[in-house]
Amino acid sequence: MSDSKSIASTEKKPDQPPSWSFWTVFSSTFLTIFFAEIGDKTQLATLLISAESQSPWVVFAGAATALIATSLLGVLIGYWIARRLSPKTLDIGVAILLLLITGLLIGDIL
């Protein structure tokens, strides 16, 4: 009987959100941001500033601090929004926003 209790207590209920481990969240966030930033205009601007200033470590410190500040802002706003909207509403809102941005970018090309 103790076996059936331990198995039943470890099963997830369908209405519970998945629990993500620290490393799952960290690695998916790191890889997403890392690949999104490669070749980004921020990286190119940092490259040019570093080449002109002859102080690569100062440029690195400034760029890293700026990226940390913008990431913190994104996390805080995302957390604030997630506490007020349901996940489904948030998904629909993001989808509409991305479609709007895509439409505006296509409009710039035409």
Domain-by-domain residue ranges, the chain? 22-107
Share of the chain above pLDDT 70, in %: 84
Give the tens place of pLDDT for each residue, 56-83: 999 999 999 999 999 999 999 989 998 9
Mean residue pLDDT across the chain: 85
pLDDT confidence of 42, banded at 50, 70, 90?
A: confident
CB within 8 Å of 60: residues ≥ 6 apart: 50
What is the 3-state composition of the chain as percent helix, strand, coil, each rounded to the nearest 5?
A: 80, 0, 20
pLDDT tens digit string along 1-11?
555 554 544 55
Q: Global pTM? A: 0.60
Instruction: Please state, in angstroms and rounded to a whole number, the distance separating the CA atoms of residues 19 and 25.
Output: 10
